[in-house]
A and B are shown apart, each in its own frame.
Chain A
Amino acid sequence: MALKGNLRDYTVTHLFRLINLAQKTGTLIVDGPNEKVLVSFREGKLAYAQAGQEDNSLVTILYQAKKLTAPQYRALKERAGNMSDKELGLLLVNANYINQQDILVSLQNHFVAIVNRLFTWVEGFFRFESDLLPPDDKITVRVSLENIIIEGARQLRELEQLQDEIPNLDIALKFADRPGANIRNFNLSVEEWQVVRYINPKNTIRQIARATKMSDLQIRKIVYALLQAGLVELVRAEGAPRPAPPPQVASRIPVTQPNPEEQKSLINRLINRIRSL
């Protein structure tokens, strides 16, 4: 079944949150107005990315990352044209041109840059293909999505959108109960750390904003990023009163409220009746 739609309705931030939390493996294909981007994931982690028809060969990525000089790049293009990225990577490491870490960091930065471009897209059809994985000859990486999501969420500037996402500031936050999600591994800004210090089901978002001297917009932006990264969840503030029941309105259809002793038998009668339909 499909995981597909339009970025206009379901943003890249939301998609990455879903892929991260569901630990999905496969490839996200996004058809934007001007180019097509493929982003592959393994168990919810970024593995590979390809933008349009751009040269995604290892030698070009290393050259762009300034790990190869122009003559080295030209020579490798000429002589190693038929080699796969994995073979070439091995050759370069064995020949002491470059170390394995440099290769992985260069690829990681290249893939993350492609993904960051996606965050600026407001339109484009997407679909997630579970069966589609990066080509076998390509080197893949393993990058947690949380920091990418936080960075992407920082780009959301519209107050209206943020109000949609977090309509109520009188609600509290708690850390999400997710194995492997360690707050220390996240690249948080000073302001984000300030908010994190106060995360506790006893503190409402409004109280945290007051304590950290942040405006509604500032606190919403930070909470939105933390939410999308799956770091925190919204919870009813401890000790907050439950919402008051609505005022009594004359109902057009009279509805009987049975007493508690009768309720269980009443529900069982309903269950039996619906089973027999």
Chain B
Amino acid sequence: MQTVKMVVTGPFNAGKTEFIRSVSEIDVVSTERKISTESERVKETTTVAMDFGRITVDEDLVLYLFGTPGQKRFDFMWEILSEGMLGFVVMVDSTRPETFREARSILETFRAYAPTPYVVAANKQDREDAWEIDDMRIALRLDPKIKLLPCVATEKEMVKNVLLELLYSILADMESKGGG
């Protein structure tokens, strides 16, 4: 049995757990705990170690999706989770510009852990106060070559699209390196 993994990362409350929950065939193995810090109490619970979802491809291949903890004090988990990943998704809350800088910093950290392909998902694009994709690209200082994709983490089709775009990027990366 072959196992491969992709990592879903991003700032606190960006929607990583929901993203994995939308496509995982198992109930997401979650390590959510009640939030202790008053300033971060925009939701009741947060992921403290990782979220873990699974998609069985066939009898020989399984894809694991790992969601990283969003709170900075659990960032020691990031390196462990990034090991051996095929690629990663950076989730950004389109309605919270105050998290853009942190998203950028997380992106840079993961790029340093492993130079694998990645895409950025602009989550909560269904909200009225969501920033436009083009504005987010400038705010996040993303290279035009990096895919910035609209997303609503609770909508399966949009989550599938993000994962597919990441896989297309991985494929393109392999072809450019002459692999396969």
Q: What is the interface of chain A, defined by CB distance below 8 A to chain B?
A: 1-6, 8-10, 14, 17-18, 21-22, 164, 167, 242-243, 245-246, 248-249, 251-258, 260-271, 273-275, 277
Contact = CB atoms under 8 A, between A and B. Distances in A.
B4 A256 contact: yes
Contacts of B100: 10
Contacts of B98: 5-6, 8-10
Nearest to A17: B138
Nearest to A14: B139
B135 A275 contact: no
Given A251-B80, A266-B2, A243 B138 contact: no
Contact of A266 (B55, B61, B83, B115): B61
Nearest to B112: A243
A16 to B, nearest CB: 11
Nearest to B128: A2
A18 B135 CA distance: 7
Contacts of B64: 253, 255
Contacts, number: 125
Instruction: Give the size range of B's interface with the partner.
Output: 35 or more
A275 B160 contact: yes
Contacts of B38: none
A274 B62 CA distance: 12
A245 B55 CA distance: 27
A266 B167 CA distance: 10
Contacts of B2: 256, 258, 266
B83 A273 contact: no
29 contacts: A3-B131, A6-B98, A9-B97, A9-B98, A10-B100, A14-B139, A17-B138, A18-B135, A18-B138, A18-B139, A21-B138, A22-B135, A164-B101, A245-B114, A248-B83, A252-B80, A253-B64, A254-B3, A255-B83, A261-B179, A263-B174, A263-B180, A266-B2, A267-B86, A267-B171, A269-B58, A270-B4, A274-B23, A275-B164
A152 B147 CA distance: 31
Given A249-B83, A255-B85, A274-B55, 16 more contacts: A3-B135, A6-B98, A10-B100, A17-B138, A22-B134, A243-B115, A245-B113, A246-B83, A253-B3, A254-B3, A260-B179, A265-B180, A266-B2, A269-B57, A270-B57, A274-B160
B82 interface: yes
A256 B131 CA distance: 39
Contacts of A254: 3
B84 A257 contact: yes
Nearest to A167: B105
A167 B112 CA distance: 14
B135 A246 contact: no
B164 A271 contact: yes
Interface string B49-85: 0001001111001011000000000000001101111
